[in-house]
Copies of this chain bind each other. A is one copy, B any other.
Amino acid sequence: MKQRAWFACLVLTVVPAGFQPWLGDQPVGGVSRFVSGDRLVFPDEYRQWVWLSSGLGMSYEASAADKDPIFTNVFADPASYRAFEKTGHWPDGTTLVLEEREAVSHGSINRAGHYQGALRGIVVETREPSRSHGKWMFYNFGLSTKPVDAIPEWAQCYSCHAKNGAVDNTFVQFYPTLLEIARQKHTVR
């Protein structure tokens, strides 16, 4: 009996969070996986997900020129990307990854501008699945791949995304191909 309870607990905690057969035809994103309740598992395969766009040295505050700008690369899990293509919205279970990399100027034959170097950190944004319909949460992995708790909800990322995201809680205004889709679907707010 003990063994069965343990097994049920394991299934409940590691079952893919996007697996929600009761939603029927509603698009379901999702590869987010959680352990021990609320800790998010690192999305190992994100580099093979759908890349949305990259920026360099982006800042939401006017400031002096950044002498050490970083590249910010954004990826979406493929199922949620396909749902966005169809509807212009992100489904429950959506997982977006923000990868930060250093910007390198001189190397090989390159003499000007910047290309990408070492990893600086990973932040993940999820649209929570069954537990809290439609709620967006942030997770900061840094340079680790161990499961992490969500960033506390008083952090600035929550209020800034909620206020300024072009579609739902997300900065689609900075992803040119998604912005085109959202305009066609009239989902830009």
Contact = CB atoms under 8 A, between A and B. Distances in A.
Contact of A114 (B48, B55, B101): B55
Given A51-B51, A116-B176, 15 more contacts: A47-B51, A48-B50, A54-B73, A55-B116, A56-B103, A56-B113, A58-B114, A59-B112, A60-B111, A61-B111, A107-B173, A108-B164, A108-B173, A108-B174, A119-B176
B174 A60 contact: no
Report the interface size class on chain A.
35 or more
Contact of A56 (B47, B78, B114, B160): B114
Contacts of A50: 47-48
A81 interface: yes
12 contacts: A47-B177, A48-B78, A51-B73, A53-B116, A54-B73, A55-B116, A56-B114, A60-B109, A63-B111, A66-B113, A108-B166, A116-B175
Interface of A: 47-48, 50-51, 53-63, 65-66, 69, 71, 73, 75, 78, 81, 101, 103, 107-119, 160, 164, 166, 171, 173-177
